[in-house]
Amino acid sequence: MNPILTPEEIEFFRSMSAYELSELTFSGVSAAMEILAIYISILSAFFLVAYYFGNKLKSVELFLLSSIYTFFCLILFSGFYQILNNTMSVVYFLIGIDNTPAMYIALSVMIVALVLSLSFMVKMSRSR
Protein backbone atom coordinates (compact mmCIF):
# COMPACT_ATOMS: atom_id res chain seq x y z
CA MET A 1 0.00 0.00 0.00
CA ASN A 2 2.98 2.29 -0.50
CA PRO A 3 2.18 5.53 -2.24
CA ILE A 4 3.56 5.50 -5.72
CA LEU A 5 5.47 8.64 -6.56
CA THR A 6 5.54 9.63 -10.19
CA PRO A 7 8.89 10.45 -11.78
CA GLU A 8 7.79 14.10 -11.93
CA GLU A 9 7.10 14.13 -8.17
CA ILE A 10 10.45 12.51 -7.42
CA GLU A 11 12.25 15.05 -9.60
CA PHE A 12 10.31 17.90 -8.00
CA PHE A 13 11.15 16.73 -4.48
CA ARG A 14 14.83 16.22 -5.39
CA SER A 15 15.04 19.78 -6.66
CA MET A 16 13.93 21.13 -3.26
CA SER A 17 16.23 21.90 -0.35
CA ALA A 18 15.84 20.21 3.02
CA TYR A 19 14.30 23.39 4.40
CA GLU A 20 11.72 23.53 1.60
CA LEU A 21 10.79 19.88 2.09
CA SER A 22 10.39 20.29 5.85
CA GLU A 23 8.39 23.49 5.34
CA LEU A 24 6.13 21.68 2.87
CA THR A 25 5.60 18.84 5.33
CA PHE A 26 4.93 21.09 8.32
CA SER A 27 2.54 23.33 6.37
CA GLY A 28 0.58 20.26 5.25
CA VAL A 29 0.34 18.94 8.80
CA SER A 30 -0.65 22.40 10.04
CA ALA A 31 -3.41 22.69 7.44
CA ALA A 32 -4.71 19.22 8.34
CA MET A 33 -4.77 20.16 12.02
CA GLU A 34 -6.70 23.34 11.21
CA ILE A 35 -9.29 21.33 9.29
CA LEU A 36 -9.57 18.91 12.20
CA ALA A 37 -10.08 21.80 14.65
CA ILE A 38 -12.79 23.28 12.43
CA TYR A 39 -14.47 19.88 12.20
CA ILE A 40 -14.45 19.42 15.98
CA SER A 41 -15.97 22.89 16.42
CA ILE A 42 -18.74 22.18 13.90
CA LEU A 43 -19.36 18.76 15.42
CA SER A 44 -19.68 20.27 18.90
CA ALA A 45 -22.06 22.95 17.63
CA PHE A 46 -24.19 20.32 15.92
CA PHE A 47 -24.39 18.27 19.13
CA LEU A 48 -25.43 21.37 21.08
CA VAL A 49 -28.13 22.23 18.55
CA ALA A 50 -29.34 18.63 18.60
CA TYR A 51 -29.46 18.54 22.38
CA TYR A 52 -31.16 21.87 22.98
CA PHE A 53 -33.33 22.30 19.90
CA GLY A 54 -33.64 18.82 18.34
CA ASN A 55 -37.07 18.16 19.82
CA LYS A 56 -38.34 21.55 18.58
CA LEU A 57 -37.33 21.12 14.93
CA LYS A 58 -39.87 20.28 12.27
CA SER A 59 -39.08 17.50 9.82
CA VAL A 60 -38.17 19.92 7.04
CA GLU A 61 -35.89 21.91 9.32
CA LEU A 62 -34.26 18.72 10.57
CA PHE A 63 -33.67 17.56 7.01
CA LEU A 64 -32.22 20.91 5.88
CA LEU A 65 -29.97 21.30 8.91
CA SER A 66 -28.68 17.74 8.65
CA SER A 67 -28.14 18.05 4.89
CA ILE A 68 -26.15 21.28 5.19
CA TYR A 69 -24.12 19.81 8.05
CA THR A 70 -23.41 16.61 6.09
CA PHE A 71 -22.45 18.52 2.95
CA PHE A 72 -20.07 20.77 4.88
CA CYS A 73 -18.51 17.78 6.65
CA LEU A 74 -17.96 15.96 3.37
CA ILE A 75 -16.18 19.02 1.98
CA LEU A 76 -13.96 19.08 5.09
CA PHE A 77 -13.25 15.36 4.74
CA SER A 78 -12.24 15.84 1.12
CA GLY A 79 -9.85 18.67 1.98
CA PHE A 80 -8.45 16.72 4.91
CA TYR A 81 -7.79 13.72 2.66
CA GLN A 82 -6.16 15.76 -0.10
CA ILE A 83 -3.85 17.63 2.27
CA LEU A 84 -2.81 14.53 4.20
CA ASN A 85 -2.36 12.49 1.03
CA ASN A 86 0.02 15.11 -0.39
CA THR A 87 1.84 15.38 2.92
CA MET A 88 2.21 11.60 3.07
CA SER A 89 3.87 11.67 -0.36
CA VAL A 90 6.51 14.07 0.96
CA VAL A 91 7.03 11.98 4.12
CA TYR A 92 7.36 8.84 2.01
CA PHE A 93 9.93 10.56 -0.19
CA LEU A 94 11.92 11.81 2.80
CA ILE A 95 12.02 8.79 5.09
CA GLY A 96 10.28 5.97 3.23
CA ILE A 97 7.55 5.44 5.82
CA ASP A 98 4.02 4.88 4.61
CA ASN A 99 1.55 6.53 6.98
CA THR A 100 -1.56 6.09 4.87
CA PRO A 101 -3.18 3.68 7.38
CA ALA A 102 -3.09 6.45 10.00
CA MET A 103 -4.74 8.81 7.52
CA TYR A 104 -7.51 6.30 6.80
CA ILE A 105 -8.05 5.69 10.52
CA ALA A 106 -8.42 9.45 11.12
CA LEU A 107 -10.90 9.73 8.24
CA SER A 108 -12.83 6.72 9.54
CA VAL A 109 -13.13 8.26 12.99
CA MET A 110 -14.38 11.51 11.46
CA ILE A 111 -16.99 9.64 9.39
CA VAL A 112 -18.16 7.63 12.42
CA ALA A 113 -18.52 10.89 14.37
CA LEU A 114 -20.61 12.31 11.52
CA VAL A 115 -22.92 9.31 11.50
CA LEU A 116 -23.26 9.29 15.29
CA SER A 117 -24.04 13.01 15.40
CA LEU A 118 -26.74 12.60 12.75
CA SER A 119 -28.28 9.67 14.61
CA PHE A 120 -28.20 11.71 17.84
CA MET A 121 -30.04 14.55 16.10
CA VAL A 122 -32.71 12.16 14.82
CA LYS A 123 -33.06 10.60 18.29
CA MET A 124 -33.46 14.02 19.90
CA SER A 125 -36.00 15.13 17.32
CA ARG A 126 -38.14 12.06 18.02
CA SER A 127 -38.18 12.68 21.77
CA ARG A 128 -41.01 15.20 21.54
What confidence score (pLDDT) does residue 65 get?
A: 93
3-state helix, strand, coil in the chain (%, to 5): 85, 0, 15
- Check if the beta carbon of residue 39 is closer than 8 Å to that of residue 76: yes
As a whole number of angstroms, the distance between CA 118 and CA 6 comes to: 40
What confidence score (pLDDT) does residue 99 get?
A: 80
At 127 the three-state DSSP class reads coil
What confidence score (pLDDT) does residue 2 get?
A: 44
Residue ranges per structural domain of the chain: 7-125
As a whole number of angstroms, the distance between CA 95 and CA 93 comes to: 6
- How confident is the model over 54-109, as pLDDT tens digits? 889 899 999 999 999 999 999 999 999 999 888 888 888 888 888 888 889 999 99
Residue 11, pLDDT > 70, answer yes
